[in-house]
Amino acid sequence: MFHVVSLVAVAAVVVLYAVAGVLAITTGRAVPWQRGYILRPRVWGYGALLFGAGLALCRCGGTVRDLTTSGVVFACGLLMLICGGVLQYVGRRAGRLRV
């Protein structure tokens, strides 16, 4: 049961990240709650897509039975998570902090 709940939760987060990323890439505008903090929305959008795909890959990599394949899938997903986070960080405005 916990497996299904966590799968649904991760799927919801991945869909939200994908929608936010596609919105930022296609329109050049950030999501409303991040609009004042993001300088380069397209870069942030690519980072959001990469982060969401990495999250999905890490979550689904645990279901693979072969240990070698599971390790490779998890490592690729983790690398995508890190690269997506870096791209999102680069897309933000320098010197802007949330208050």
pTM of the model: 0.84
> Is 99 contained in some domain?
no
In the numeric block, the tokens 């902090």 are attached to 97
Tokens in use for 84?
């997506």
> Is 14 contained in some domain?
yes
Mean pLDDT of 76-97: 87
Instruction: For residue 85, give its domain range.
Output: 2-91
pLDDT in tens, 2-21: 778 888 898 999 999 999 99
What is the tally of structural domains in the chain?
1
> Is 70 contained in some domain?
yes
> Is 33 contained in some domain?
yes
Q: Percentage of the chain surpassing pLDDT 90?
A: 51
> Is 97 contained in some domain?
no
- Dist. CA 99–CA 91, nearest whole Å: 19
pLDDT at 44 (0 to 100):
93
pLDDT in tens, 67-81: 888 889 999 999 999
